[in-house]
Amino acid sequence: MEIEKGIFQRTELLLGKQKMEFISKQKVIIFGIGGVGSWCAESLIRTGIIHLTIVDYDKIAESNVNRQLPATLKTIGKFKTEVLKERLLEINPNAKITAIQKIYNQENHHVFNLESFDYIIDAIDSLGSKMHLIRMATRTNATLFSSLGAALKIDPSRIKIAEFWDVKGCPLGFIIRKKIRKGDLPAKKFLCVYSDEVLDNQPDLEKQQMDLENETDNPIKKAVINGTMAHITAIFGFTIAGLLVKDIYEKVEKNSE
């Protein structure tokens, strides 16, 4: 597909035509388009990603307005996938956006055909579904990027990138590693975005930590609900989008040598 010159003029000035053409051919899927995934999706479409699949089962709630891109007072009650798809097509009408209103879990994972994607982005809240996606995604040829806990944080300078087994100071990362060791391990390395900041301003923080440890694989029920802010979730999402673009840049450079 020919690049939209006007829309992507500044991006092509930075990356060059060859990399822009490569970007336009990549197939990306994002699981979870809430506080992290929605901002990631917007960044990717504005960068030149054409083939994007967004997955979420939820409707927009009033409590989403403080941090989720598609959430406004006018969109409350609408499905997140529908609202975000409409917005993304307003940015680039030529984008091929597939909106899937489903839950990813162990029972239905096969319907997503993970093997058909070049990049898989994990922005799932449910622990059981998150671990299953990590296990399955790392067994494909796709590159996986995962978002860890973005709640209880306000300091953007504490946001970091590390390989999954090297993440330090993130309670969610610690619990996922602890639980994932009890089953199949990830088949290959993958990068995570996380923060080592935890604001201890919740009176029942110890109970919430215990709830996380004991969370079932129910993808609808969230064991832990904590305070979250837009600037943190957006940075998480933008960082994952940046990692994806950086990976593409390096692949094209390597193939050009």
DSSP for 55-101 reads E--PBP-GGGTTT-TT--TTTTTSBHHHHHHHHHHHH-TT-EEEEE-
Q: Which of 26-30, 44-48, 199-203, 225-229 has the lowest mean pLDDT?
A: 199-203
Q: How far apart are CA 20 and CA 2, in angstroms?
A: 10
Does residue 18 register a pLDDT over 80? yes
Nearest to residue 111, comparing CAs of 59, 57, 68? 57
Q: Are 41 and 234 in contact (CB under 8 A)?
A: no
Q: What is the mean pLDDT of residues 109-133?
A: 96
Does residue 245 register a pLDDT over 90? yes
Q: Token pair of 72, please?
A: 């406004």
**Burial of 112 from C-beta contacts in 10 A (0-12 / 13-18 / 19+):** buried
34-54 pLDDT per residue, tens: 999 999 999 999 999 999 999
Give residue 205's pLDDT. 47
Q: Which of 28-32, 123-127, 156-160 has the lowest mean pLDDT?
A: 123-127
Residue 114 banded pLDDT, cuts 50, 70, 90: very high
Q: Token pair of 166, please?
A: 């090297």
Handedness of CA 71, 75, 81, 82 (dihedral sign): negative
Give residue 200's pLDDT. 72
Give residue 203's pLDDT. 46
Query: From the CB of residue 224, how many other CB atoms can be counted at a distance below 10 Å?
Result: 21
Q: How far apart are CA 44 and CA 24, in angstroms?
A: 10
Q: What is the mean pLDDT of residues 17-22?
A: 95
| Cα radius of gyration rounded to whole Å, the chain | 18
Give residue 226's pLDDT. 81
Does residue 84 register a pLDDT over 70? yes
Q: What is the mean pLDDT of residues 184-199?
A: 95
Strand 159-163 to strand 191-195: parallel, antiparallel, or no bridges (unpaired)?
antiparallel
Does residue 206 register a pLDDT over 70? no
- The helix/strand/coil state of 145 is strand
Query: From the CB of residue 188, how many other CB atoms can be counted at a distance below 10 Å?
Result: 13
Q: Token pair of 241, please?
A: 């989008």
Query: Strand runs (DSSP E) across the chain, as ranges?
Result: 27-31, 51-55, 96-100, 119-122, 143-147, 159-163, 191-195
Give residue 211's pLDDT. 57
Q: Are 51 and 251 in contact (CB under 8 A)?
A: no
pLDDT over 90 percentage in the chain: 82
Does residue 1 register a pLDDT over 60? no
Q: How far apart are CA 122 and CA 174, in angstroms?
A: 17
Output the pTM of the full model. Answer: 0.91
Residue 198 banded pLDDT, cuts 50, 70, 90: confident
In terms of pLDDT, which residue wins out, 142 or 208? 142
Question: Quick one: 5-214+225-256 is in which CATH superfamily?
Answer: NAD(P)-binding Rossmann-like Domain (3.40.50.720)
Give residue 154's pLDDT. 95
Give residue 202's pLDDT. 53
Give residues with Cβ within 8 angstroms of 171, minimum separation 6. Answer: 149, 198, 209, 212
